[in-house]
Amino acid sequence: MPLFGTDGVRGLANGTLTADLALSLAQATAVVLGQGRSAEQRRAQGRRARAVIARDPRISGEFLAAAVSAGLASSGVDVYDAGVIPTPALAFLIGDFEADFGIMISASHNPAPDNGIKVFARGGVKLPDVVERRIEANLGGPDLLPTGADVGRIRRFSDAEDRYLIHLLASLPNRLDGIHVVLDCAHGAASGVSPDAFRDAGARVTVIGADPDGININDGVGSTHLDHLAEAVVRLGADVGIAHDGDADRCLAVDANGRVVDGDQIMAILAASMHERGHLANDTLVATVMSNLGLHRAMRERGIDVVQTAVGDRYVLEAMTEGGHSLGGEQSGHVIMSEFATTGDGVLTGLHLVAEMARTGKSLAELASIMTVYPQVLVNVKDVDRERVSDPVVQDAVAAVTAELGETGRVLLRASGTEQLVRVMVEAADEATAHRHADALAEVVRERLAL
């Protein structure tokens, strides 16, 4: 079974994800990412490979960061420890510091007992599958470890957060003066830098979920638990709520009435703004197949093309890079603004969303109204053969529903990449219609693909 999943190596800390594994993975990463043209350049400059590491505040990150640092330094890599910062901050710092690669220790929106290791290549980009496989193949580490003066050093990256903060503020088209923002930092990695960024940009800020103790990350707070944020926004009479997840690569929002504004709506707002200001490259937005039909219709009405990808921010970024596009993301709140970031950045996204409110003088509800959200029903059909999802009877049923819905809906069947199940997603003009068709299709899948 592959070690790397859809977003790095993840598992129960000190269970499947041990200190030994973290050390071995770091050594293998040093072997693979310390090779090639950059290694020749380093030798010419008389320096060792450099790596930036960071973590979110969950308690297991402390021993895992120590293990990763030991693995890298024992392989001759100089380590710059940025401490607790968001994943997108690490990605930015790799490029800004001209490091050879970086490692983030975080399990994102997962609960505290879990943790993960994400590896970024030079420039702060996620690794392609082929490089991940090379790292797995080198898990034994180098044949000969350096000794004496050739081992790496471990240093504190003392101005890491300041560099990232300056970068965020420099990206903004205008200040946020006059906007009252409630921030939910998920007791996670953004607890320090996100409030500072919004305040420095001129917003009035109220903060919740910003008291990490190592075990409360994502616990009833953050982008996966928006009730507390919605209540706080309404109670305080704030203009907007911004929610991050544990490592702050996501952003979801709440309007002044407590209604959730998801990643699709955020992308619609940003795409329309960038299009209007001439900053939307190729007049194109990149989104996954799970993005709402309403997003597609809203973009078409404004002369904006939508490129679709498989689910996963890595596929969004690949399409953006190949096509030279400047905006893309997922319904879950991973939004990539390639002019300023190489990965989803929840703090950056939140700042630009609120900046659009300040620029236009419109409420978030007004801005979000450019997109009609179609009811979307998802049914997971378990214990079926996902390999036979192209069964003719199943596909005929999908075609029949698609024809009946016409332009007022959409059908999507997806085989899970990890489980024996098929996901049936139906969008329609009303929820009752979406449920009716989703349930009917799920029954066809259940009968035809039963194990």
158 in catalytic set: no
Amino acid at 420: Q
Alpha-carbon separation of residue 346 from 98, 159, 192, 266 (angstroms):
23, 21, 14, 11
Under a CB-based contact definition with an 8 Å cutoff, are residues 365 and 255 in contact? Answer: yes
What is the four-CA torsion angle of 170, 173, 177, 178, rounded to 10 degrees?
-150
Q: Is 239 annotated as a binding residue?
A: no
Secondary structure class of 5 (helix, strand, coil):
strand
CA 314 to chain centre: 9
74, 75, 108, 273: the catalytic one is 108
Ligand-binding annotation for 391, yes or no, is no
Q: Which two tokens stand for residue 217?
A: 């990350």
Taking alpha carbons only, the member of 156, 158, 166 closest to residue 79 is: 156
Identify whether the C-beta of residue 414 lies closer than 8 Å to the C-beta of residue 423: yes
Does 108 count as an annotated binding residue?
yes
- 206 CB-contact burial (10 Å; exposed 0-12 / middle 13-18 / buried 19+): middle
Measured in residues, the chain has a length of 451
Residues facing 207 on adjacent strands: 183
SS3 238: coil
Q: Return the DSSP state at 23.
A: H
Residue 249 assigned to a binding site = yes
- Where residue 178 falls (left for φ over 0; alpha for ψ -120 to 50; beta otherwise) is left
Residues marked as binding for Mg(2+)?
A: 108, 245, 247, 249
Annotation: binding site: 108, 245, 247, 249
Q: Which residues are catalytic?
A: 108
